[in-house]
Structure 1
Amino acid sequence: MSATSLLMPKMGESITEGTIINWLVAEGESFEEGDILVEIATDKVDNEVPATSAGVMQKHLYDANAVVAVGEPIATYLAQGGDAEKAINPSEKKESQPTKAQAPKKRAKPKVAPATRTIVSNENVFVSPLIDSIARKHHISYEEIARIPGTGTKGRLRKKDIMQYIDDGRPFQFAQPVAQPDPDAYKIPNLKLDKGKGKIVEMDRMRQMIADHMVYSKHTSPHVTAYVEADLTEMVQWRNDNKVAFQEKHGERLTFTPLFVEAVAKAVEEFPMINVSVDGKNIIVKEDISIGMATALPSGNLIVPVVKNANQKNLVEIAAEVNRLSSLARENKLGGDDVKGSTFTISNVGTFGSVMGTPIINQPEAAILATGIIKKRAEVMERPEGDTIEIRQMMYLSLSFDHRIVDGYLGGSFLRKIADHLEQFDTTRAL
């Protein structure tokens, strides 16, 4: 065996240096052709440097996070056969195309270690070009690859691992992958609670899905709930005065729900960071504003039909869509498209006589609004001639929001804006 230097590869015409992210082969550890030796980052992309021949890692000349000029030695190793000159600088090898499972992400700060490329449930498995080539030849899926034990650093797959797996007859070809337990994860204690005796009612499929969705939401999003009250006197009076004429003219019933949807859509336009979802460490700001409205089915279960692009509809169009969806819900005839695509949800708990509620976020949204019952109350009103006590139509609004991405200022301001739109309702608007 001869000592060989591993050089910092050139990874682009304008690239003059790279950052060592992580050594994947330790000093003194052997490796096979195609094994990934080190991960390198530039200001443009991440790259994995594969071994072009088998060998033994002799010494790392730089630690992780070190910035090294292109062409400088970063390690020495003892090559076993193969073309020594070819092994000196792996960047001279034609750059292989990354597979879908290992597509590199752009980096803003090259010294930050990237997320491990994952397949199914094994976070330590990634597919190098050599492993991918072998897998394709033998028709091995990524899901199956994720079940193969790796003997490389941190469980990474080597050529000999997949070849041995094939020689063994692919024993995990039809096995179901099992995620490794997280030792730091919260474990639900088994308290052996006395749940009492009585009639057993088995949950139907929808109730089971709702239960799973609610538990998932509370587990995923740290919920914070803010409250405001709104004076809806003018809006209620306008609706009472015009609901008959509205139905005669447009053939649609005018309930309070279209008015709430309209106000919320306007507020979302003014606070777009409410209209978001979390994707790992990224925030997706939605282009569409589609308002879901929690609706009770005849079975008692809840479903969330969606008013698509609510901000682009006028009151007549919103009312027509609300009536259509409500009617389909009562008849259990909602289609798949009717309940997809919501970016924000309203739950009208006032329908059941509740003064206010603390709704659970409809994942993957960032917030949900609950509207309470509209109730007459004596309120102190500030008038130019002095304070007076008047009977007003009041309603509490509560907003539960995901505190990972929505702070108190944004959540409170957004909620107040919805109340302002309801309180400042234009009573002179034409039908």
Structure 2
Amino acid sequence: MTVKEFKLPDVGEGVAEGELVSWLVAPGDRVEEDQPVAEVETDKALVEVPSSYDGTVEELFVEEGEMVPVGDVIISFRVDEDGEAGAAAGDDAETDAESEPDSAATDESEPQPDAADDAADAESAEPETPDGRTFAPPSARRIARELGVDVAAVDGSGPGGRVSEADVRAHAEGDAGSAGSGDAGDGPEPRPAPTPTDAGSGERKSAVSKRGADGSADAASATPAGGPEPAGRETTLATPATRKVARERGVDLDDVPTDETRDGEAFVTAEAVEAYADALESAAESTPEPEPVDVDTGAEPAATDAASATASADPADGDETVPYRGVRRTIGKQMERSKFTAPHVTHHDTAEVDALVEARETLKPTAEAEGVKLTYMPFVMKAIVAGLKEYPYLNSELREDDEEIVLKGNYNLGIAVATDAGLMVPVVEDVDEKGLFELADEVNDLAARARERKLKPAEMKGGTFSITNFGAIGGEYATPIINYPETAILGLGAIEERPVVREGADGESAVVPVPTLPLSLSIDHRVVDGAIAAEFANTVMEHLENPLLLLNE
């Protein structure tokens, strides 16, 4: 029997990390190859991660809600070399060289070299469990690996000797009587500056609080004179444990210098964070204290300003903080990129769609007989294709680096769908080659799977023009943001009866209630002129107001 470690695979093109939303298995569960073991949310979609082995779940290394870089170990399996998995935990078996030392389920495991000096303490500190193993959640084990600590040597403070993250850090820092500390009877004492940790931590330094006891900002929160130059990146990859170290040291990960990369993005380790924080503190200690300011001059002491800034940054009572990541972060970045790249202009108009309403009502029984729910969306899609064929610059992409506009030959329409995680835009390909019922069925399927977070990343790529239906929620007009690098997006208001002036049979004009559809067309003004946008909208409205024209599409 061997213990196989399973790393988070590349779950989508260009994805460097993901949030482990939920585990679908637990330690001791029997799994088969290709069986989903976890759900991971990337910046593109929610995907299921399948197992690569037939075996029994040995250990989970990541807690739900943690961000995990691609390539990090998330789970291990017990796999029998003869193909029979699930041998007893106490069997005499070999493990892979990469497996964790604390994953061996025997009392005979030898102490690790980095804890050899404290073997006696480790034996006495190990919680007594029925099978001789140490109880610790994945987050505590991850931090133990980061800090070079043998989790079996940590004295757990939780129920039944369960080891927490705080226990691991206390052990690494030499507090509370852990290996290498002073008198076991001495309690932990606050230290004004970091000191080297003891065995098992290498050259790492102990973490210090971001704020002092008086609530003032730590010296590491700003760059003092003579300190290291911050990198000032926009994006940085790091493990959850490293991010936690950065928070504790008051360091911005984007400022930490690094030469390491993952998938083309800067990657920062906990050691780099510690070294950067230490350098900041050293520079701060060597910076002379500012002269006291006479209060009569009206200037407030610097410490007061720092405390005020700190207080204003903290959440107020009753506030709730929500992680800005995954799909929501991707939406935000995409909207920002589009809005600040493409100069937006929005054209508004209204189509009188009483004939469209009548056509849909006529076709609904036939659609239902074929098991299709017919909405207005397929009619709108066909009308848009008619407009795109006549005005191809709205079905294009501007490639600035190449200084060229690509007029797309396919008509792949993205349909914005509101989900609990944010707006997702699945793409219906080759709309010009499909009938109304086929489009209705495909749109309904994509929308349902988008709300269930079951879309594949490939199903949200390749769009040439997008549609957003804010009228389904309520509203008439809006200024939709283009799904960059596309050059246009059409927003649909609610179809409602509104007053319209029409000429009667007697030649007299009258105001009558007519179903109308408000349209909001946003364009990239670098590619499309306002006059072209208006002509495109007129073509779309003509086909919506005369549905028989859609038979040609």
| TM-score of Structure 1 vs Structure 2, range by shorter chain | 0.5 to 0.7
Show CA shifts across 1:270-310 (max 9, x none).
Answer: 1111111011121011111111000012x141100111010
Partner residue of 1:246? 367
Counterpart check, 1:360 vs 2:498? no
Q: Could you say if the C-alpha distance between residues 300 and 244 of structure 1 is closer, same or farther in structure 2, counting changes exceeding 3 Å?
A: farther
Question: In structure 1, what is the equivalent of residue 329 of structure 2?
Answer: 208
* Matched residue SS, 1:217: helix
Q: Which amino acid aligns with 1:284?
A: V
Aligned partner of 1:412 in structure 2 is 534
**3-state secondary structure, aligned to 2:480:** coil
List structure 1 segments (4+ residues) > 6 angstroms apart after TM superposition: 175-179, 427-430
Q: Which residue identity does 1:405 align to in structure 2?
A: V
1:23-422 correspondence runs (5 A): 197=316, 198-248=319-369, 250-280=370-400, 281-297=403-419, 299-385=420-506, 386-422=508-544
Shift of 1:244: 2.7
In the alignment, the residues of structure 1 paired with residue 451 and residue 462 of structure 2 have an alpha-carbon distance, to the nearest angstrom, of: 21
**CA distance in 2 between partners of 1:428 and 1:306 (Å):** 21
Q: Structure 1 residues 331 and 379, CA, compared in 2 at 3 Å: closer, same or farther?
A: same
Distance 2:468 2:351 in 1: 16
The 1:353/1:178 distance shift into structure 2, 3 A limit, reads: closer
2:484 maps to amino acid: Q
Q: Is the 8 A contact 2:396 2:406 kept in 1?
A: yes
After superposition, the Cα gap between the structure-2 partners of 1:334 and 1:178, relative to the gap in structure 1 and judged at 3 Å, is closer
- Do the aligned partners of residues 382 and 304 (structure 1) sit closer, same or farther apart at CA in structure 2, a change above 3 Å counting? same
- SS of aligned partner of 1:361: coil
Q: Paired residues, what number?
A: 245
Relative contact order (C-alpha < 8 Å, sep 6+): which is higher?
1
Letter in structure 2 aligned against 1:358: T
Residue aligned with 1:426, SS: helix
What is the CA RMSD across the aligned residues, in angstroms? 2.7
Amino acid at match of 2:418: A
1:314: Cα distance to partner? 1.5
Whether the aligned pair in 2 keeps the contact of 1:238 and 1:427 (CA below 8 Å) is no
Tell me the SS of whatever aligns to 1:342: coil
Deviation at 1:317, TM superposition (A): 1.7
Shift of 1:178: 11
- Consecutive unaligned residues of structure 2, counting only runs of 5 or more, are 1-257, 267-308
Shift in Å at residue 267 of structure 1?
Answer: 1.2
Give distance in 2, aligned partners of 1:279 and 1:270.
22
- Does the 8 Å contact 1:262/1:318 carry over to 2? no
Q: Distance in 1 between matches of 2:333 and 2:449?
A: 24
In the TM superposition, residue 364 of structure 1 has moved relative to its aligned partner by 0.5
Show the counterpart of 1:423: 545
Which amino acid in 2 is paired with 1:258?
P
Q: Assess if the C-alpha contact under 8 Å between 2:383 and 2:550 holds in 1.
A: no
Matched letter for residue 243 of structure 1: K
Retained in 2: the 8 A contact 1:235–1:427? no
Please state how far the C-alpha of 1:174 moved relative to its aligned partner: 5.5
Deviation at 1:256, TM superposition (A): 1.2
Residue 178 and residue 318 in structure 1: after superposition, are their counterparts in 2 closer, same or farther (change >3 A)?
closer
* Structure 2 Cα separation of the partners of residues 274 and 345 of structure 1: 10
Amino acid at match of 1:272: P
Amino acid at match of 1:381: R
CA–CA distance in 1 between the matches of 2:509 and 2:494? 26
Q: Is the 8 A contact 1:306 1:340 kept in 2?
A: yes
* Deviations 1:159-191 (CA, angstroms, capped at 9, x unpaired): xxxxxxxxxxxxx98579999xxxxxxxxxxxx
* Deviation readout 1:324-347 (Å, 9 max, x if unpaired): 211211222111221111100000
Cα distance, 1:400–1:428 mapped onto 2, change above 3 Å: closer
Aligned equivalents of 1:287, 1:318: Cα separation in 2: 19
Distance in 2 separating the partners of 1:428 and 1:219: 36
Task: Give the C-alpha shift of residue 232 in structure 1.
Answer: 0.8
Change (3 A) 1:199 1:390: same
1:175 and 1:358, CA in 2 relative to 1: closer, same or farther beyond 3 A?
Answer: closer
* 2-structure distance, mates of 1:253, 1:403: 37
Contact 1:234/1:427, CA 8 A, preserved across alignment: no
Answer whether contact 1:262 1:310 (CA < 8 A) is retained. Answer: yes
Going from structure 1 to structure 2, the CA distance change for 1:397 and 1:372 (only over 3 Å counts) comes to same
TM-score, normalising length: structure 2 = 0.42
Residue 203 of structure 1: CA displacement?
2.1
Measure the CA separation in 1 of the matches of 2:550 and 2:333. 46
Encode CA deviations 1:375-407: one digit per residue, 9 max, x unaligned: 111211024522122210012101000001111
Paired residue secondary structure (1:201)? coil
Compared CA separation, residues 266 and 178, structure 1 to 2 (3 A): closer
Structure 1 residue 426 displacement after superposition: 2.1
CA distance in 1, matches of 2:431, 2:550: 22
* Deviation for aligned residue 1:218: 0.5
Q: Is the partner of 2:547 in helix, strand or coil?
A: coil
Q: State whether residues 383 and 543 of structure 2, in contact with CA within 8 Å, keep that contact through their aligned partners in structure 1.
A: yes
Q: Distance in 1 between matches of 2:376 and 2:329?
A: 31
